[in-house]
Amino acid sequence: MNALTEMKCEACQADAPKVTEAELAELIGMIPDWRVEVRDGIMQLERVYKFKNFKLAMAFTNKLADLAEAEFHHPGILTEWGKVTVTWWSHSIKGLHKNDFIMAAKTDQLLD
């Protein structure tokens, strides 16, 4: 069980702090299938999930949409035949918040 999946996202205000380097090192270790990407100067978490076909990829996408709405924290999602690329970051702070790591762990849990 990943401790992050037991947590809830907090409302992320524009002045909320980004994760520190130390926090990043600790948190990324808790979601080993995810990698850190930087796009337009914005640090993001990303993972590619593989599926047997488009229908299964879409079903996962819909479950992720429900999770995002439940937590009111939303990912970037690219859904293709056989794969879904999920990207988490916090728009309000243009970077990574602990919420993003919680949501990455909860995204993994959708596969259970």
Ligand X SMILES: C[C@H](O)[C@H](O)[C@H]1CNC2=NC(N)=NC(=O)C2=N1
Minimum CB separation of residue 81 from ligand X in Å reads 26
Q: Of 51 and 75, which CB lies nearer to ligand X in the complex structure? A: 75
44-64: b (≥16 Cβ within 10 Å) or e: bbbbebebeeeeebeebbeeb
CB of 74 to ligand X, least distance (A): 4
Residues found near ligand X in the complex (CB under 6 A):
12, 72-74, 90-92
Q: Which is closer to ligand X, CB of 12 or CB of 43?
A: 12
Q: How far is the CB of 91 from ligand X (least distance, A)?
A: 4
Which residue from 22, 23, 18 is spatially nearest to 4, judged by alpha carbons? 23
Distance CA 44, CA 10 (A): 18
